[in-house]
Structure 1
Amino acid sequence: MFNIKKLTILTLSSALLIGPVLTVQADEYDTKIQQQTEKISNLEGEQQAAQNTLIALETQISQIEAEIAETSAKKVKEEERLNEINLEIADLKVAIEKRNKQLEEQARNVQVNQTGNNILEAVLTADSLNEALGRAMAVTTIVNANNEIIETQKEDQEQLEKLSEEAQQRLATIEAQAKVLAEKEENLTATRLDQQVAINELQGMIATEKKQKEKFEKQKQEAIKRREAELKAIAEEKARAAAAQAAYEKEEAARAKAAAEAQVVVQEETSNNNTVTNSSDNAVVSDTPQQPATPTPPPASSGWGMPVSNVSVSSRFSWRTDPFGSGASELHNGIDMVGSSGTPIFASKAGTVVQASYDPSAGNHVIIDHGDGYYTYYMHLSSFAVSAGQSVGQGTTVGGMGTTGSSTGVHLHFAIATGIWSGFIDPGPLLGI
């Protein structure tokens, strides 16, 4: 009887102890999962705020670019006006030169012919008063004309100075406006790059927290499975204990009826107690929960190398406003990395050069087929170090950084695609930037 009671008590104790322990473990995972969910939610909120800030910056940059385009248009008009002024100045110089020659000629005539005495003689030798008056009026007209020429000469010289000053002022105004806009765009671009770095960092943090949450969720499911298995085992032990108790009670009743069979009952009881004891020992062993195996993270491998030694990103793979002032939205199908002219450019992976030529937009460019469905593009090069058909290894120099083609400054436009001039994808995740 002792062994059966021992089994019953042990089984009930296991049910009371293991059940709450497993429930607590599941609750702990629920708490951890909830904490991870809150972390992810907070990070996603920060990411959205950063994204909104980035959108606002993009809007400001678009406005500045529109102002730059407008200022460029004004500059063209002012340059056209400046050209007109220069033509007027040239015409005035010609007119002034002609008048100077005319005045010099008249002065020379007066000096050579002694015009003053001739005029007096012409008046005195006139046959009549009317003729004398006419000769005098003619002389006056000539003098007045000379005076008008001198006055016009003076006015034209003043106008020349005024137009020249006006042209200088217009030019200075345009240069000042262009400088202010360029500084604004530079500052906003730097801020945008910082914002994009912050967003990338948040994305990395969100990915890490999501992986941690997935880990907790997996551990929770494993704990639930263990709890269900343990509870099933406990239920089986309870059923076996109840059956043993019923058998014992039946044997006690039979003993009261037949004392003659007492020895047989004792033997059966001894046999049953041994069986119960073994079952109790097995139950104790089964109470120990199994710990889940620690998941092994997958190996990290990229296979893509940086095309430059020092990475300084000025523009990423994204939709943006045309930097040449058209105002249209276009897909920037690669990553721009700035540096100095001639900076060595390296092959990101091993492959075969399929193009090494010039294009009005891409400038000097190299395209490499890597044989795995991917092509890499290296644009705006200053020079070539490889040729079409050449096999290159990862890190082979393909050329020097430049600003050929449609380019606003020295930089490398690096792109990855699944075809020749088609199927462009974002190189950032592959490069890890």
Structure 2
Amino acid sequence: MKKKIILTLSFVLLLNAAPVSVFAESIDNKIEAKNQKINEIINSQKEASDYAALLEKEIAALEKEYYAVLAEKQDTEQQLNTMNTEIAALEVKIEKRSEQLEAQARATQAGQDTSMISVLLNATSISDAISKVLAVNTIVTANNDIIQAQKADKEELNLLKNSLLEQVKVLEAKTAELAEQEDALAQAKLDQEIKLNELAASLTKETAEKKQFEEQKAEAERKKQEELKALEERKKKMAEAQALAEQQEKERQAAAQKAAEEAAAQAVADKSTATAAVPETTGTTPYEDTNNTNTDYTETSSGWRTPVASVVVTSGYGYRQDPTGLSGTFHEGIDFGGSSSTVIMAAATGTVAYVGYDSMSGNCVIIKHSNGYYSMYAHLSSTTVNQGQSVSIGQQVGYMGTTGNSTGVHLHFAISTGLWSGYVNPAPFLGL
């Protein structure tokens, strides 16, 4: 019998642990999903960081080229300034020489005849005169050559100046193009930095949610262990109660047997024809009659009364075949039939020792009485008292239901000598 109870409670344990296991599995799936998301974000961060580093290199190369072109432009501009200065100086010299040559030419032109006559008259010989005339012509020719050379230099300087101007324009255009490219790369780099910040924020969010799920999993595991421990305690208490009930049943059977033997001996001795009272048969109970009804409360002289107004006993105290196969073959109380609107009353005055839900008893109320007994009201649809509350006999404690290990609407009523232990037959207390 104990083995069956243990197997039954193990089954109940699996039923209760199943939702926790499913919840833990769901949490594991969520954690795995967060891990995948975090890995995706980390990969995206690496790609974004690599691209940002590449942009940084390209920007550095562009800056280097930009500054090189800028330096070349500045150098060309300096050359242009120097050339402009030289051109200006050359123009001044050419202007002065031109004025001097024009003055000499005018003087020569104005006094040419006199000069030639003067040269010839002053000549000592014909050859001396010819030589002097040739000298004058040579000076004039040389001046004309200087003028032509100066004009050629000026034209060459102008060509060089124009070339430098064109070069400056090209360098300015290239500088502007490089600056535009650098701005574009800088903007791309800024976009990557924004993306990196967004990825970092997403990573923080996903990591925080993963941590939350991990905490939920740890909490679920903790609750599971608590439930396992509570069920183990419940199993232990029920095993102890079962052992005590079996012992009490053995004692009751022994007492009944002894009483029967004593009655038989007395009958033989007295030769009486009176019918001896038949003791209760082992393994049965006189309270299993489903038609036992009473429309009024039954209150005994000991201060107990039935917990329902209309008494319909559907299952008595003692050995029986459990309908669900979860509670063993020993019934620890009396089942009263009724409907979900049936009011459940306190069987005696006392203090509420327990109000709550139990996987076997469903919504349950346990009252502790001054005489040392406890009364239990199980499978309620709802309760109307609080733990620690004082209740009087006949006071409402809840409504009949079918919560917990139950196959239909009824009240499981039990009396015990301890909380969850030491169950006794409640029928004599109720006068049934």
Same fold flag (TM > 0.5): yes
State the AA in 1 paired with 2:89: D
1:135 corresponds to which of 132, 137, 152: 132
Counterpart Cα distance in 1 of 2:153 and 2:129: 36
Q: Secondary structure at the match of 1:206?
A: helix
Q: Which moved more, 1:119-128 or 1:171-180?
A: 119-128
> In structure 2, how many angstroms separate the alpha carbons of the residues matched to 1:222 and 1:11?
24
Does residue 240 of the first structure (1) align with residue 237 of the second (2)?
yes
Match of 1:101 among 83, 99, 117: 99
1:36 corresponds in structure 2 to: 34
Summarize deviations over 1:281-333 as a string: whole Å, max 9, x none: 74436899xxxxxxxxxxxxxxxxxxxxxxxxxxxxxxxxxxxxxxxxxxxxx
Equivalent runs, 1:337-416 vs 2, <5 Å: none
Q: 1:152 aligns with which of 149, 152, 163?
A: 149
Secondary structure in structure 2 of the residue aligned to 1:110:
helix
For residues 280 and 197 of structure 1, the distance between their equivalents in structure 2, rounded to whole angstroms, comes to 55
Aligned to 1:185: 182
Tell me by how many angstroms 1:48 deviates.
1.6
Deviates more, 1:27-36 or 1:245-254: 245-254
Give the TM-score of the pair, scaled to structure 2. 0.57
Residue of structure 2 equivalent to 1:335 = none
**Correspondence list, 1:238-387, <5 A:** 238-251=235-248, 259-260=257-258, 274=332, 282-284=358-360
Shift of residue 257, structure 1, vs aligned partner: 5.7
Gapped regions of structure 1 (runs ≥ 5): 289-433
Note the C-alpha offset of 1:249: 4.2
**Partner AA of 1:73 in structure 2:** A
What are the ranges of 5 or more consecutive residues in structure 2 without an aligned counterpart?
260-278, 286-315, 319-329, 336-353, 365-432
2:208 aligns to what?
211
Q: Deviations over 1:56-92 (max 9, x none)?
A: 1122112222222222322332222122111111111
Which structure has the greater CA radius of gyration?
Answer: 2
* Residue in 2 that maps onto 1:227: 224
Instruction: Report the Cα offset of residue 6 of structure 1.
Output: 9.9
CA contact (8 A) 2:37 2:206 kept: yes
Partner of residue 55, structure 2: 57
* Aligned counterpart, 2:11: 13
Q: Deviations over 1:75-129 (max 9, x none)?
A: 332222122111111111112111211221122213322x266336634763313
Q: CA RMSD in A?
A: 3.6
In the TM superposition, what is the alpha-carbon distance from 1:170 to its structure 2 partner? 2.5
Report the CA distance shift for 1:146/1:287 in structure 2 as closer, same or farther (over 3 A). farther
Shift of 1:273: 5.2
Structure-2 change in CA distance of 1:189 and 1:62 (3 Å): same
Query: In the superposition, relative to structure 1, how do residues 214 and 164 fare at CA in structure 2: closer, same or farther (>3 Å)?
Result: same
Q: Is the 8 A contact 1:11 1:238 kept in 2?
A: yes
Could you say which residue in structure 1 is the equivalent of 2:275?
none
Distance across 1 between alignment mates of 2:241 and 2:137 = 154
Give distance in 2, aligned partners of 1:281 and 1:101.
127
1:46 & 1:170 partners in 2: Cα distance?
46
Shift of 1:29: 0.7
Q: Contact 2:59 / 2:186 at 8 angstroms: preserved in 1?
A: yes
SS at match of 1:284: coil
Q: Give the corresponding residue for 1:201.
A: 198
Aligned length: 284
Q: Matches of 1:287 and 1:50 in 2, distance apart?
A: 59
2:78, 2:26 → 1: CA distance?
A: 77
The percentage of aligned residue pairs carrying the same residue is 34
For residues 62 and 11 of structure 2, what CA distance do their matches in structure 1 show?
Answer: 76
* Letter matched to residue 84 of structure 2: N
1:3-50 deviation line (CA, Å, top 9, x unaligned): x99976763332121122212211211111011011011011101211
Task: Sort the Cα spacing of 1:276 and 1:102 in 2 relative to 1 into closer, same or farther, 3 A.
Answer: farther
In the alignment, what sits opposite 1:292? none
Distance 2:362 2:80 in 1: 98
CA distance in 1, matches of 2:234, 2:59: 74
Aligned 8 A contact 1:36 1:209 in 2: yes
Q: Secondary structure at the residue paired with 2:188?
A: helix
Query: Is the Cα contact below 8 Å between 1:99 and 1:153 reproduced in 2?
Result: no
